[in-house]
Amino acid sequence: MTFLKMQNYEILIEEGGLSHFAKHIKEVYEFDELFVVTDQNVFDLYKTKLIEALVGYRLSFVVLPPGEKTKSLEVYQQAIKTLIEKGIKRNHLILAFGGGVIGDLTGFIASTLYRGISYVQIPTTLLAQVDSSIGGKVGIDLKEGKNLIGSFYDPKFVLIDPSFLKTLSKREYANGLAEMIKAGLIGDKKLYTYLLEHDTVTEVEISEAIQVKRNVVLLDPYDKKERMYLNFGHTFGHAIEKKHQYETYLHGEAISYGMLIALQIGIQIGDTKEELYQEVKTLLKSRGLIQEPLLQMDDYRDEIVHDKKNLADGLRFIIVTKPGDVKIVKLKESDIL
Ligand SMILES: NC(=O)c1ccc[n+]([C@@H]2O[C@H](COP(=O)([O-])OP(=O)(O)OC[C@H]3O[C@@H](n4cnc5c(N)ncnc54)[C@H](O)[C@@H]3O)[C@@H](O)[C@H]2O)c1
């Protein structure tokens, strides 16, 4: 088992860790009533296991439809209504049990309902385990764009049990691998090298990927500076997702194309070697994350210009100089578009 300390909470990473869940809850919560927010897929697959792990607790479930559309104002409002009807009080504990959609939405509910209720993250997708459950960013989407309403709100703890990953589809698994490849490229050469050679991961690599994110989040909890490193590949990734209405490409697929475009820009400005680009391209292709012909940045100009992360003082861009090493460069729109 690995324990990673964040500023206000711990991340517990253990294969089979769900079986010790009740013990961890007892350390942070004195009552016997728990409110579980989840989606229908996770509920169908893991309801029994969760109930078994939490013997002695009374569980109230809020089961939502799977998919990004659940991160909406309408579902937010509906889920809050259900929680209130089921009797939730300010000192109760909510469990966010699912992928990143459930984690982001439930964290946002927890941060706003009664001006803040405690919650715990139990991420069940690889993407949620290595990325969305870490760092305290919670929120929902608007018709105008993704993650436009949200807050920073830390959970009581995060429980990561890689055994949930056994039921993930190959495509959803690869979606998480893409964020791990990014983590390796920006901050952990050993992890990157492992991912070149293996298409499955264990709690060891999950911990390594989390530590890359953890290190920048601890330096910059509110996303003002260093946390920007995590955006490697995301300027184009977000543009690709947006242009295709968040339907054609999963996030990991979009950022895979985005990482390649970012590496190309690195080559253009003399900071990145062509061999690294070729190596990453072969890796992403072999994991089913990209297909040739590759998506080209020319087709995503409008979306890039409107990305909320493009700050008023120009486009700050993350360049990987070699695996594990990054730098921020300031580009003008005309440099890349
Ligand atoms: N807060 C952050 O810092 C942050 C970071 C990255 C991404 N995100 C957000 O995360 C969301 C994407 O998360 P996601 O990729 O986990 O998507 P998701 O939550 O939609 O899950 C993907 C699919 O996998 C299913 N699923 C979940 N666990 C499963 C399991 N163990 N076995 C089988 N199926 C399972 C879900 O029902 C869903 O159909 C996006 O909304 C994105 O904006 C947030």
Give the range with max mean pLDDT: 147-151, 223-227, 239-243.
147-151
Which residue puts its alpha carbon closest to atom 42 of ligand 1?
100
pLDDT of the residue at 304: 77
Identify the CA nearest to 304 among candidates 272, 262, 253, 247.
Answer: 262
> Which of 172, 238, 253 maximizes ligand 1 atoms within 8 Å of its Cβ, making it the mutation to test the pocket?
172
Residue 62 and residue 38 in contact, taking contact as beta carbons nearer than 8 Å: yes
pLDDT in tens, 111-142: 999 999 999 999 999 999 999 999 999 999 99
293 preceded by a cis bond (ω within 30 of 0):
yes
Given the CA of residue 134, which atom of ligand 1 is nearest to it?
3
Range 183-208 average pLDDT: 98
Instruction: Name the residue with the closest Cα to ligand 1, atom 39.
Output: 66
The structural domains of the chain, ordered by start, are 2-167 (3.40.50.1970), 170-336 (1.20.1090.10)
In the prediction, which pLDDT does 307 show? 65
Interacting residues of 287 by C-beta distance below 8 A, sequence separation 6+? 174, 177, 178, 181, 199
* CA–centroid distance, residue 69 to ligand 1 (Å): 12
Pocket residues for ligand 1 (CB within 6 Å)? 39, 41-42, 45, 66-68, 71, 98-102, 104, 124-125, 127-128, 131-132, 135, 137, 146-147, 164, 167-168, 172, 175, 251
pTM over 0.75: yes
User: Residue 149 — pLDDT band, cuts 50, 70, 90?
Assistant: very high
